Amino acid sequence: MTSTQGRVENRQPGYVPADNSQPPSRRFRFNEWLDGHARQLFITPAVVMILIFSIFPLVASLIIAFSRVRLKAGGYQVRFVGFKNFSKQIFGSEQFHFLGTFTTLTFLGWVVALSASAAILWWMYRYITTGFSIIGFIGRMITAIVGLGIAWMFAGTFFSGNPFGTLGVTLFYVFVGCGVQFIIGLGLAFLCSQPIRGRNFFRVAFFIPMMITPIGVGYVFRMMADTTKGPFSPAWQWFGLNDFAWAANPWTARIFIIIGDSWQWIPFIFIILLAAFENIPRDYVEAGQMDGASNWQIFREISWPQVMPVAVTVMLIRVIEGFKIVDLPNIMTSGGPGIATESMSLHSFFAWRSLDLGQSAAIAYLLLFVTVVICVSFFNLIVVNRMRRI
Amino acid sequence: MKSTCKSLLAGVAAAAVLGTATPTFAGEFDGVTISILTRPGPVIAGRLVDRGKEFTEMTGAEIRVNEVPFAEIFQKLLTDWATGTNSIDVGVFASGWAVELVDGGLVENLDPYIAKDDKIDIDDIAPYFREFNQKIGGNTYLITVDGDFQMLYYRRDILEKIGMEPPKDWDDYMKVAEAMNGMDMNGDGEADYGSCIFKKRNAQSYFAIGSIAAGFTQTKGTGEGLWFDTETMKPKINNAGWAEAFRVYKETGKYGPTDELNQDIGDTRALVQAGRCGLVIDWGDIGPLSIDESGAAIRDKMGAVIMPGSRKVLNPATGELQQCDADLCPHATDGVNHAPYAAFGGWAGAVNAKADQKVKDASYAFLSYMNQAEQSNVDVTLGWTGYNPYRNSQLNDTSKWIEAGFSPEFADNYLGAIKDSLNHPNMASDVRIPGAQQYTGVVLDRELARFLAGEITAEQALANIEAGWEEITDDFGRDTQKQMYKLSLGITN
Amino acid sequence: MSNVSKVPRRSLFDRLFEPPRIGAMAPGAKIIVYTLLLAWSAFVLFPIYWLLITSVKTAADVNAGPFFIPFVDFTPSLHAWRELFIVDYADTLRAYVNSLIISLAATALAVLVGSMAAYALARIRYQPNLITILIFILTMTAALFAVFSYGVDWRIVLVVGVGIFYFFSKAVASRVKVPLANGDILFWMISQRILAPIVVVVPIYMMFQSVRMLDTHLAIILTYAVVNLPIVIWLMYDFFNSIPKDLEESAQLDGATMIMTFREVVLPLSRAGLAATTLLVMILCWNEYLLALFLSTAKAQTMPILVAAMNAGERGILWWSMSVVIIVMIIPVVFMAIVLQRYISKGVLLGAVKG
């Protein structure tokens, strides 16, 4: 690593602080040494920790993903198997589990697949004809390929009446779940920022779910959703739903998991957006009221532009965390019915539990790939774009 | 069965004598700490803690019980022992899982310890558990603390009310379940369920399906093997018998709670105890649970019987289901082929081969203490311990059970059903080879869950299982797997 | 001042949704706002109420169907509390102490290391060479591959690897320079948060296993600290950036070293940011389950593992005991929140997010 003049070089060397009345001693020399290396000292611990506990495992995990790993007495036995662990997920015996079950595309499937493809190709075409840079092109190519893959995956499974796999489930949790959480969180923050009494109470009460361990939240919502002895079972029966079990239907099971996840995570979005709303100078809003603007107009024209940059970043964080969802489906349904609620993290976790470390790592890597592509696309194509427009 | 009872009175006497003997190794293990890994909760672990305190007083060895979720136990233990972390000295887990650990040389051979032990009275342990559950390849690696196989329980009072007999085969089962379904069985004014069988994914539904399938596919005795062909190690799963079992399992759901797909065994047991189930498939636990304080609604109302079998069984030659005859089902009673399934095999303790000798001695002494008739004959009668009978003295002497709160009638009925199952020549054995957990707990469980959820047909599920199992077998090595499988079936009673 | 008085004839609807004065709310809007907020409060608080009453129910109370009000529907009993705190107090206490040690130490470590790095990135210009980094990653991949797939002794690989890295960084990297900026380092560090724990946990597990550190506090502390480092760096970077540099500059003119400036000037100024960050990291560490499940077996088990352990499989879930554990887990977090609250000004998290 190379170094340049930093601001720290401006200090006057050799100056002894007034309170340090000791003569130059070993301690002093040590302090001087520390000071001389402050540039490195400040950042090295973080770099070293990340190298050891993030980069090193990341590379090791990649190697495991290309291997067959077996536990043997006294350690591990690792055999290189190439892309087998990956191809199994995408084309082989685990395809149904990761991508979903494919039969022939129905008419609706074709419509969705072709229109999504057309939209993505049009978007690429427009990019190439308007502005062009190598890095931008490569980045958009990756986004387009992943987008096409996901579109065809949903077209072949969901839109053709087949169940989809853990990839689809994860995307469902992330986009539907985070979407719902954002809308509710935003709404609550807006309401709470109004001049009303008891704001502190609401602020504290709404924050509580974030303090509960996710695994606890899973169990709490299993209690809530119990149709025989849970608190809502009388209501459930009153509605004549005796013969309907949420856990036996893939969609209701997924929705229940999203409800639990939202209960826990809306507070996070709420608390930050509330701060953003409160940060808007009251004069702006009052000026709007003076001009006779309706509440909706005030929100749209005055509050939203102020809150938008924060909202986008909060969503980015939430989406990143959303991809990691594992505790709730694990506790509430164990991934059932069938594999309908299994997220990719859970898929990988189950593979680990059956000691299939290679597959576990391969799925984890696929998750990482999808997360990175989607988050980076979101950041570059939406956040940066929006920021520029404002 | 009564004659067997009498002929084995000697066993009772032996137990009574043992009951008076007191352990003598006081202070022997001062300063030793035994770290035990097992499943959480009062069940299984709770009694280890209680008895551990007694053991500490007697010998000075400290017992520390570590609890991890059920699904993590095997993984934790294997990695802890295989990688040499060795923070666990004793694992208490399903006896079937031990094969893989023994295969890796991680488990202490306990035969020398048993030879020196004059208190364990090894011959009192029922032959199935002694020769089969505790042993791998002829050596004893495990000490049983709980004997497990599945039975059918029914509500005696309800059955009498509707004038039906306990089901013998699955057709009967459906009829009885249908008749009972919707009745109010606990007097709370709500409709209750005809049948309760746990069906949750990643839980224990693969044990229930084993119990159902065994009656359709295993006919020639324990040695035939339920899971694989002993000659080729080909899975014996993609056939009409298993397909029928899958359909039966799904059909029982029609008479069960609506959210049965998300019910683990604990959930069904809670329903049983609340008096909401007419028919139940379960291990021995329901007996003691019915006399527990929490089971007041079903006290003296339960009956037990050997697992239902089938009149039509798989003919391996034709691959079709066929009516039972003397050739096809040599062990059938009244034309019904029963194959009681030793699901799980029971909780058993194994000692880490890498532990210090002193710790190993103490560990064995503790397991022996748990197993000895004086302790276990009391423990098995308590519902909350999760321990089910495995000693002759427990099965033949009803007095301890009556003392615990069983009615004499139910004690006879309950122990009779256990003995019927345990002594059955066609008892079906659990998968007891390396990768056992992957075969059943992962592949079978997942495909079964998808079938129950309606994602795939039974035939697709079975074809997927066959492919998945072949992959696992090839991965571990077909020949070694075949050897291990044969060994695991080698001894029958 | 009232708008309404100026316009005499208005429909009821208009009057309901017209603010009585600027800066206040219309009565109709107020009703809607309160209704929505109270409805949400009920949604948020009901599960917690249910936790509280479940913790004083017996098995029979739970299994026999829903009971809502203690003393009316059912008789509360403290049996679950007694069981966890009197009968099995040793196990509960062990997990509790483990959790406290681990989350406090991990939080302290993450906040210390992270805010140092954040400060450095906010105040010093770094220019690492991309080529050096590439050489480093390639060498590490080759080394790991040798160890895992060919079973070469890791000590040999370490020595050879360091040698190769040193040689190439001298030979190549000193000639070809592709300098990166602080923004790149920052992005690299923050992007570590994208990693789902499941991606890295198996190698981390193997790593601790090979140095015999599985099931120790230190292993979990280090892992938690690193997992949360990106959050600290991100939040604190923005916070440090928002502090005017004048104070530090004058301190440096007075001859204070960088370390002293950081300790005596910067940290006290950023108390609010530190408090918010500490609270957030503390909550995340305290509640983490998956990594703890991998890295602990017996001695280092934490509270979330204890929660999971209350699912007793065959005997169902011990809802009553589980509720007790969850409630007990919330208490220290609330306590922390109250203690740190006076340091947390409204805009701390906001500043970072606006970044």
ipTM of predicted assembly, 2 dp = 0.84
pLDDT of res. A302: 84
Residues C206 and C66 in one domain: no
When CB atoms are compared, the residue of C63, C293, C301 closest to B274 is C63
Contact across the interface for C62 and A229, Cβ inside 8 Å? yes
pLDDT of res. A75: 63
Cα angle C145-C147-C153, degrees, rounded to a multiple of 5: 155
Side-chain-side CA neighbours of B130 within 13 Å: the count stands at 12
The answer to whether position C81 is within a domain reads yes
The answer on pLDDT for B464 being more than 50 is yes
Q: Is A215 on the interface with C (CB under 8 A)?
A: yes
pLDDT of res. B22: 43
Domain range spanning residue C12? 1-46
Residues C289 and C273 in one domain: yes
Q: Could you report the per-residue pLDDT of B343-352, keeping only the tens digit for each? A: 888 899 999 9
Q: Provide the shortest C-alpha distance from residue C301 to chain B (in Å).
A: 9
The whole-angstrom separation of Cα C269 and Cα A275 is 21
Residues C323 and C209 in one domain: yes
The answer to whether position C186 is within a domain reads no
pLDDT of res. A351: 86
Residues C225 and C332 in one domain: yes
Among residues C70, C87, C104, the one where a domain terminates is C87
The answer on pLDDT for A20 being more than 60 is no
Contact across the interface for A244 and B258, Cβ inside 8 Å? yes
Q: Read off the pLDDT band of A336 (50, 70, 90).
A: confident
Q: Read off the pLDDT band of B64 (50, 70, 90).
A: confident
Q: Could you report the per-residue pLDDT of C313-329, keeping only the tens digit for each? A: 666 788 888 999 999 99
Residues C144 and C261 in one domain: no
Residues C33 and C157 in one domain: no
When CB atoms are compared, the residue of B83, B87, B265 closest to C314 is B265
- Neighbouring-strand partners of residue B322: B313
DSSP code for B314: E
Q: Is B76 on the interface with A (CB under 8 A)?
A: no
Higher pLDDT, A25 or B359: B359
Q: Average pLDDT of A292-299?
A: 80
Q: What is the 3-state secondary structure (H, E, C) of chain C?
A: CCHHHHCCCCCHHHHHCCCCCCCCCCHHHHHHHHHHHHHHHHHHHHHHHHHHHHCCCCHHHHHCCCCCCECCCECCCCHHHHHHHHHCHHHHHHHHHHHHHHHHHHHHHHHHHHHHHHHHHHHCCCECEHHHHHHHHHHHHHHHHHHHHHCCCHHHHHHHHHHHHHHHHHHHHCCCCCECCHHHHHHHHHHHHHCCHHHHHHHHHHHHHHCCCCCCHHHHHHHHHHHHHHHHHHHHHHHHHHCCCHHHHHHHHCCCCHHHHHHHHHHHHCHHHHHHHHHHHHHHHHHCCHHHHHHCCCCCCCHHHHHHHCECHHHCECHHHHHHHHHHHHHHHHHHHHHHHCCCCCCHHHHHHHC
Surface of A (55-74) touching B: CB under 8 A: 68, 71-74
Share of chain B above pLDDT 70, in %: 94
pLDDT of res. C342: 66
Q: Are strands B135-136 and B139-140 parallel, antiparallel or unpaired?
A: antiparallel
| Mean model confidence pLDDT for chain C | 83
The answer on pLDDT for C351 being more than 80 is no
The set of residues, in sequence order, having a beta carbon less than 8 Å from that of C226 and lying 6+ positions away, is A49, A50, A52, A53, A54, C110, C192
Q: Provide the shortest C-alpha distance from residue A249 to chain C (in Å).
A: 22
pLDDT of res. A16: 42
Q: Average pLDDT of B23-48?
A: 78
Q: Is B76 on the interface with C (CB under 8 A)?
A: yes
Tokens of A337: 């019915």
Q: Could you report the per-residue pLDDT of C222-231, keeping only the tens digit for each? A: 999 999 999 8
The answer to whether position C6 is within a domain reads yes
pLDDT of res. C237: 87
Give the count of beta carbons closer than 10 Å to the beta carbon of residue C79.
17
The whole-angstrom separation of Cα A252 and Cα A254 is 5
CB B442 within 8 A of CB B228: no
Q: Average pLDDT of C22-48?
A: 86
Residues C210 and C327 in one domain: yes
Chain B residue closest in CA terms to A69:
B475
Residues C225 and C345 in one domain: yes
Which of the other chains make 3 or more beta carbon contacts under 8 angstroms with chain C?
A: A, B
Quote the longest CA-to-CA distance of chain A: 87
The answer on pLDDT for B9 being more than 60 is no
Residues C40 and C136 in one domain: no
pLDDT of res. C112: 94
Tokens of B207: 């044990």
Q: Average pLDDT of B167-196?
A: 90
pLDDT of res. C143: 86
Would you call A343 helix, strand, or coil by DSSP? coil
pLDDT of res. B154: 94
pLDDT of res. B370: 93
The whole-angstrom separation of Cα A76 and Cα B83 is 8
Q: Provide the shortest C-alpha distance from residue B287 to chain A (in Å).
A: 24
pLDDT of res. A36: 75
Q: Average pLDDT of A33-37?
A: 76
Would you call A158 helix, strand, or coil by DSSP? helix
Residues C11 and C72 in one domain: no
pLDDT of res. C346: 52
Chain A residue closest in CA terms to C303:
A213
When CB atoms are compared, the residue of B43, B66, B188 closest to C314 is B43
Residues C81 and C92 in one domain: no
The answer to whether position C117 is within a domain reads yes
Contact across the interface for B455 and A245, Cβ inside 8 Å? no
Contact across the interface for C313 and B72, Cβ inside 8 Å? no
Q: Read off the pLDDT band of C18 (50, 70, 90).
A: low
Q: Give per-residue burial for B445-470: e unless 16+ CB within 10 Å, then b.
A: bbbbbbbbbebbebeebbebbbebbe
Q: Provide the shortest C-alpha distance from residue A318 to chain C (in Å).
A: 11
Q: Provide the shortest C-alpha distance from residue A107 to chain C (in Å).
A: 37
The answer on pLDDT for A13 being more than 90 is no
The answer on pLDDT for B329 being more than 80 is yes
Q: Is A169 on the interface with B (CB under 8 A)?
A: no
Comparing CA positions, the residue from B417, B462, B377 lying closest to residue B150 is: B417
Q: Which domains does chain A have, with CATH numbers?
A: 92-389 (1.10.3720.10)
Q: Side by side, which strands form the sheet with B193-196? A: B193-196, B277-282, B151-155, B302-305
Q: Read off the pLDDT band of C4 (50, 70, 90).
A: very low
Q: Could you report the per-residue pLDDT of A40-76, keeping only the tens digit for each? A: 888 889 998 998 888 888 888 888 899 888 766 556 7
Residues C118 and C146 in one domain: no
The set of residues, in sequence order, having a beta carbon less than 8 Å from that of B55 and lying 6+ positions away, is B61, B63, B365, B366, B369
The set of residues, in sequence order, having a beta carbon less than 8 Å from that of B324 and lying 6+ positions away, is B219, B310, B311, B312, B313, B332, B335, B336, B337
Among A254-263, A280-289, A310-319, name the most confident range. Answer: A254-263
pLDDT of res. A25: 63
pLDDT of res. A14: 42
- CATH number, position C321: 1.10.3720.10
Which of the other chains make 3 or more beta carbon contacts under 8 angstroms with chain B?
A: A, C
The answer to whether position C282 is within a domain reads yes
Q: Report the range of poorest mean pLDDT among B226-230, B442-446, C13-17.
A: C13-17
The answer on pLDDT for A243 being more than 70 is no
Surface of C (41-70) touching B: CB under 8 A: 58-60, 63-65
Q: Could you report the per-residue pLDDT of B68-78, keeping only the tens digit for each? A: 777 778 878 88
Q: Is A340 on the interface with B (CB under 8 A)?
A: yes
The answer to whether position C188 is within a domain reads no
When CB atoms are compared, the residue of A10, A207, A324 closest to C196 is A324
* C contacts of B257 (beta carbons < 8 Å): none
The answer on pLDDT for B240 being more than 80 is yes
When CB atoms are compared, the residue of C58, C293, C298 closest to B87 is C298
Q: Average pLDDT of B171-185?
A: 92
The answer on pLDDT for B26 being more than 80 is no
| Mean model confidence pLDDT for chain A | 83
Contact across the interface for B87 and C214, Cβ inside 8 Å? yes
Share of chain C above pLDDT 90, in %: 24
Contact across the interface for A356 and B260, Cβ inside 8 Å? no
Q: Read off the pLDDT band of C176 (50, 70, 90).
A: confident
Comparing CA positions, the residue from B378, A54, B101, A342 lying closest to residue C188 is: A54
Comparing CA positions, the residue from B348, B371, B375 lying closest to residue B142 is: B348
Suggest the residue from B202, B205, B352, B445 to mutate for an interface test with chain A (most A CBs closer than 10 A): B202
Contact across the interface for B267 and C318, Cβ inside 8 Å? no
Suggest the residue from C187, C198, C341 to mutate for an interface test with chain A (most A CBs closer than 10 A): C198
Q: Is B62 on the interface with C (CB under 8 A)?
A: no
Chain C residue closest in CA terms to B70:
C313
* C contacts of A205 (beta carbons < 8 Å): 41, 44-45
Q: Could you report the per-residue pLDDT of B260-309, keeping only the tens digit for each? A: 888 888 888 888 988 889 999 998 888 888 888 777 888 889 999 999 99
The answer on pLDDT for A369 being more than 90 is yes
The whole-angstrom separation of Cα A212 and Cα C326 is 7
pLDDT of res. C52: 92
pLDDT of res. A24: 55
* C contacts of A76 (beta carbons < 8 Å): 148, 206
**Structural domains of chain C, count:** 4
Q: Average pLDDT of C158-176?
A: 86
Contact across the interface for C315 and B66, Cβ inside 8 Å? no
Size of interface B-C (CB pairs under 8 A): 104
Q: Could you report the per-residue pLDDT of A75-116, keeping only the tens digit for each? A: 677 788 888 889 888 887 788 888 888 888 888 989 999 999
The answer to whether position C185 is within a domain reads no
* B contacts of A72 (beta carbons < 8 Å): 82, 104
The answer to whether position C100 is within a domain reads yes
Surface of C (317-336) touching B: CB under 8 A: 317-318
The answer on pLDDT for B466 being more than 80 is yes
Q: Could you report the per-residue pLDDT of A199-230, keeping only the tens digit for each? A: 888 888 888 898 899 999 999 998 888 877 88
* C contacts of A53 (beta carbons < 8 Å): 200, 204, 222-223, 226-227
Q: Could you report the per-residue pLDDT of A302-327, keeping only the tens digit for each? A: 888 888 888 888 888 899 999 999 98
Q: Report the range of poorest mean pLDDT among A348-352, C27-31, C89-93, C208-212.
A: C208-212
